[in-house]
Amino acid sequence: MVENSGMDIRDRKEDHVNLAITENVTISGVTNGFEDFEFVPTAIPDLDFDEISMESTFLGQKFSAPIMVAGMTGGYPKAKEINNKLARVCAKIGIPMGIGSQRAMIVRPETLDTFAVKKEVPDVFLVGNLGLVQFSYDFTMDQYHEAQEKVQADAMAVHVNSFQELCQPEGDLNWKGSWKNLEKICKHSKVPVIVKEVGTGIAYEEVLQLSKIGCNAVDVGGAGGTSWPKLELFRNTKDDALDLNDETLKWGIPTAFATWEASQVKDIEIISTGGMYHGLMAAKALAMGASMVGIARPVLKSLIEFGERGAEKWLKHYILNIKRVMFLLGVQSVDELKMQKQRLIPLRKAREWLSYRKFL
């Protein structure tokens, strides 16, 4: 493992949040692809809007809506306040939330309270988080279990972030044995395992392989939202670092395309994350077959600027917009929405991509 002091990790985590809020961390000209899909609408919805159910099921648990607050932070003092506030909002609404990478907690055990939100909010469904690449260095299954148990995580996200590591000044680039390590994690984890990309997407072939090794869910983490590689480049002052305008930063599968591909794999649940800024995008992802839609930066921004009430208001409005689309489609429930893929028309680049990949 590249040597990093606990203080370096703490500073990096704080930098990530500050940069995500203050800088343009998206890539010019790159979208999540949902604009290339259009619904066939229903002119006469034979239902009562007030009777539409937003209840959804994920990893065997029922939630009030099919959205989750994706893992963002932890490991530095202010993160405790941020995560506790997010946990209170998520518990109140009845949706799951994730925490940022717990590597900081392993390296600096005193930062545990920045992740352990269940001490204050025991009812929240919590998704823990560790990076797969660390298991190619010196992380062990004992440390995995420790990370899960100490925060009482109901599921664990194992994030895969090779492009981010490539752009990070402290990046870990030895990924040998990653599939073997992941198979071991899936076999021995005491809670469901979510494999989570962070901005470049996961293609059908790898989702299929993840299903075969026993992974419970995949967060496709597609291109088109916050670019973690770009965010890292704001911090990277090395002479040989990628330029912020380098074409390579456009690398990845748009979230919509990755969601469509992943939904072809049975027996694994899909989370659609990456630039999911509006309920219409979420409705399209759910119609493709996603079980959950993950949202991060807009919620964090609302929380920091307007407090818990602001974050709650933003999330409730987002859920309402999904419900409005369901009404316009004439569907009564989220389960019914998930069966509307045939009413999504791929256009332009989406049609070219999916036709070439033989998914149409």
Look at residue 193 and tell me whether its pLDDT is greater than 90.
yes
Look at residue 22 and tell me whether its pLDDT is greater than 80.
no
- At CB < 8 A and 24+ separation, what contacts does 50-54 make? 51/332, 52/323, 52/326, 52/327, 52/331, 52/332, 52/333, 53/332, 53/333, 53/334, 54/319, 54/322, 54/323, 54/334
Q: What is the pLDDT of residues 295-320, one digit of tens each?
A: 999 999 999 999 999 999 999 999 99
Q: Of all residues in the chain, what percent carry a pLDDT higher than 90?
A: 84
C-alpha distances out from residue 261 to 217, 223, 258, Å:
14, 14, 5
| Number of domains comprising the chain | 1
Question: What is the pLDDT at residue 8?
Answer: 62
Residue 186 lies in a domain: yes
Question: What is the pLDDT at residue 4?
Answer: 52
Report which of 27, 40, 21, 2 is spatially closest to residue 346, judged by C-alpha positions.
40
Residue 80 lies in a domain: yes
Query: Where is pLDDT greater, at 35 or 170?
Result: 35
Residue 5 lies in a domain: no
Are 89 and 308 spatial neighbours (Cβ–Cβ below 8 Å)?
A: yes
Question: What is the pLDDT at residue 126?
Answer: 98
Look at residue 51 and tell me whether its pLDDT is greater than 90.
yes
Q: What is the pLDDT of residues 105-156, one digit of tens each?
A: 999 999 999 999 999 999 999 999 999 999 999 899 999 999 999 999 999 9
Domain at 106, CATH number: 3.20.20.70
Q: What is the pLDDT of residues 253-269, one digit of tens each?
A: 999 999 999 999 999 99
Residue 18 lies in a domain: no
Kindly calculate the radius of gyration of the chain based on its CA atoms and give it in whole angstroms.
Answer: 19
Residue 13 lies in a domain: no
Buried b (16+ CB within 10 A) or exposed e, 184-219: ebbeebebbbbbbbbbbbbebebbeebbebebbbbb
Q: Which of 28-37, 62-71, 237-246 has the lowest mean pLDDT?
A: 237-246
Mean pLDDT of 37-53: 98
Q: What is the pLDDT of residues 214-241, one digit of tens each?
A: 999 999 999 999 888 888 888 888 888 9
Q: How confident is the model at residue 24 (pLDDT cuts 50, 70, 90)?
A: confident
Residue 25 lies in a domain: no
Residue 151 lies in a domain: yes
Q: How confident is the model at residue 73 (pLDDT cuts 50, 70, 90)?
A: very high
Look at residue 27 and tell me whether its pLDDT is greater than 90.
no
Mean pLDDT score of the chain, rounded to an integer? Answer: 93
Whether the model clears a pTM of 0.85, i.e. scores above it, the answer is yes
Question: What is the pLDDT at residue 10?
Answer: 56
Look at residue 79 and tell me whether its pLDDT is greater than 70.
yes
Question: What is the pLDDT at residue 1?
Answer: 40
Instruction: Give the domain extent around 59.
Output: 33-356
Report which of 320, 340, 318, 319 is spatially closest to residue 329, judged by C-alpha positions.
340
Residue 162 lies in a domain: yes
Question: What is the pLDDT at residue 3?
Answer: 44
Look at residue 44 and tell me whether its pLDDT is greater than 90.
yes
